[in-house]
Amino acid sequence: MSNNSMTLTDNRNGKSYEFPILDGSVGPSVVDMSSLYKQTGMFSYDEGLTSTAVCKSDITYIDGEQGLLMHRGYPIDWLAENKRFLDVVHLLLYKELPDEKRYENFKYELKKRSFIHEGMHKLFDAFPDDAHPMAVMQAAVSSLSTFYPDHLNMDIKEEYMEMAARIIAKIPTIAASAYRHKNGFPAAYPNLDRGFTENFLYMLRTYPYDHVELRPIEVKSLDTVFMLHIDHEQNASTSTVRSVGSTHAHPYSCISAGIGALWGHAHGGANEGVIRMLEQIGTVDRVDEFIKKAKDKNDPFRLMGFGHRVYKNLDPRAKALKKLRDQLIDEIGIDTNLIKVASRIEEIALSDEYFVKRNLYPNVDFHSGLILKALGIPNEMFAVLFVIGRTPGWIAQWIELKEQESLKIVRPRQLYVGSKLKI
Ligand code: ACO
* 22 alpha carbon – ligand 1 mean position (Å): 31
Which residue owns the Cα nearest ligand 1 atom 25?
A: 309
pLDDT in tens, 330-359: 888 666 788 889 999 999 988 999 999 999
CA of 359 to the centre of ligand 1 (A): 10
Pairing of strands 5-10, 74-75: unpaired
Q: Using the atom order of ligand 1, give the atom closest to the CA of residue 315.
A: 48
Beta-sheet pairing, 68-71 with 60-63: antiparallel
Instruction: Give the chain's mean pLDDT.
Output: 93
Among 71, 181, 250, 308, which one carries the catalytic annotation? 308
Q: Which residues contact 84 (CB under 8 A, 6 or more apart)?
A: 103, 223, 227
List the residue whose alpha carbon is closest to atom 29 of ligand 1: 309
Which of 287, 292, 303 is the best mutation target for the ligand 1 pocket, counting ligand atoms within 8 Å of the beta carbon and taking the most? 303
Secondary structure element (H or E) that encloses residue 351, with its range: helix 336-351
Known active-site residue 365: yes
Q: Which of 3-7, 133-137, 145-149, 334-338 has the lowest mean pLDDT?
A: 334-338
What integer is the mean pLDDT of 226-250? 96
How far does the centroid of ligand 1 lie from the alpha carbon of residue 307, in Å? Answer: 5
Please say if the pLDDT value at position 151 is more than 60: no
Which residues have any ligand 1 atom within 6 Å of their CB? 270, 294, 302-309, 358, 360, 363-365
Give the pLDDT band of residue 150 (cuts 50, 70, 90). low
Cβ-contact 293, 299 below 8 angstroms: yes
Q: How far apart are CA 246 and CA 100, in angstroms?
A: 35
> For position 285, what pLDDT does the model report?
94
pLDDT tens track for 179-224:
999 899 999 999 999 999 999 999 999 988 778 889 999 999 999 9
φ, ψ (nearest 5 deg) of residue 224? -70, -40
Tell me, in angstroms, the distance from the centre of ligand 1 to residue 25's CA. 30
At 85, the pLDDT band (50, 70, 90 cuts) reads very high
CA-to-CA separations, 84 to 139, 236, 359, in angstroms, rounded:
29, 26, 31
Distance CA 273, CA 267 (A): 11
Atom 36 (ligand 1): residue with closest C-alpha?
Answer: 307
